[in-house]
Amino acid sequence: MKKIIISFLISLIISSGVNAGTDGSKTLSKKSKPVKDCFEGLNRATFSLNQGLDKVIFKPVAKGYRSLPSPVRTGTSNVLTNISSLITIPNNILQGKFETAGVNTGRFIVNTTIGILGIFDVAKKMGFSEYEKEDYGQTLGVWGFGAGCYVVLPVLGPSTIRDTAGSFINVLGGDPWYNASTHGNNEYLSKSDYVATKILTGVDFRAKNLETIDNLEKNSLDFYASVRSLYLQDRQRKIANTSATIEVLYEGDWEEVESQ
């Protein structure tokens, strides 16, 4: 069943268009095609649902989390970043960034051991290069798969068909962090652990950006369109590995979100 679902999602990506050269190699086009909002009506309805859940559940939880002592929040954020290396490293390899994969592996080992599971970012103090997350959606983009249509997922928020497929590959293609031993006795992190960390990551992000997101919503003529534009431009920037300024109406808000 897992293989059927993954194959179906990949076929959707392929049908959305792959930028292939005459030699058959897949490369990112210098200027990517605009991503269509094929399901805008459904997307807006889901977006409204997510806003309602945010106001009732996630925002209050984020405020409670934010009231924790700063060292606790910093340590939690560091641990989540350290764990995310276990997704980033295989994607570094899949994208042919072997040197980066080696650096991130070293970072993970140092922070997991000396940094006590990543609570302390010792690698940063040792001079390791700045860490950038990678995921399977980005890898598919680097390989040349088109984004497909823009979609808004319940709870999870903005995505595209390609990024959604990347998420399913991660979750359905086996235990996401199979090579991570929790106690040194081959007891591996499971999908439930993965989901728990994703939820906690969302809470951590929301807590860091309470005012930023509220200001963006308040100042946007169309909050849905603003979020869509921000997400799509940010994903393209990450896939292309550029630090170009995102051209949106509320650049300051997005830069603040990105800097957290």
**Residue 244 pLDDT grade (very low, low, confident, very high; cuts 50, 70, 90):** low
What is the C-alpha separation between 260 and 258, in angstroms, rounded?
6
Locate 102 and state its tokens.
Answer: 């080696």
Residues 152-168 pLDDT 10s:
999 889 999 999 998 87
The pLDDT assigned to 17 comes to 42
132-156: pLDDT as tens digits: 999 999 999 999 999 999 999 998 8
Half-sphere exposure at residue 33, Cβ-oriented, CA atoms within 13 angstroms: 14
Query: Quick one: pLDDT band at residue 90, thresholds 50, 70, 90?
Result: very high
What pLDDT shows up at residue 1? 44
Q: Measuring CA to CA, which residue among 101, 100, 126 is closest to residue 113?
A: 126
CA 160 to chain centre: 12
At residue 170, the pLDDT reads 65
Average pLDDT over residues 63-88: 93
* Chain segment 2-37, per-residue pLDDT in tens: 443 444 444 444 444 444 333 333 444 445 678 999
The partner residues of 160 in beta bridges, in order of sequence, read 150
pTM confidence score: 0.74
| 37 close to 228: Cβ distance less than 8 angstroms | yes
Q: How far apart are CA 65 and CA 206, in angstroms?
A: 10
Identity of residue 118: G
Alpha-helix runs per DSSP H in the chain: 2-16, 40-53, 59-66, 70-94, 98-113, 122-125, 136-142, 161-172, 191-208, 210-219, 223-240, 251-259
Domain range annotation of the chain: 2-12+32-208
Task: Tell me the two tokens of residue 141.
Answer: 């983009």
Residue 43 in this model has a pLDDT that exceeds 60: yes
Closest CA to 157 of 56, 250, 11, 43: 43
What is the pLDDT at residue 175?
46
Work out the mean pLDDT of the chain and round it to a whole number. 79
pLDDT of 199-242, one tens digit each?
888 899 999 999 989 999 999 999 999 999 999 999 999 998 77
Percent of the chain exceeding pLDDT 70 equals: 72
Amino acid symbol at 259: S
DSSP reduced 3-state for 151: strand
pLDDT tier, 74 (very low <50, low <70, confident <90, very high otherwise): very high
Structure token digits, residue 260: 């957290």
The 10 Å Cβ neighbour count of residue 125 is: 11
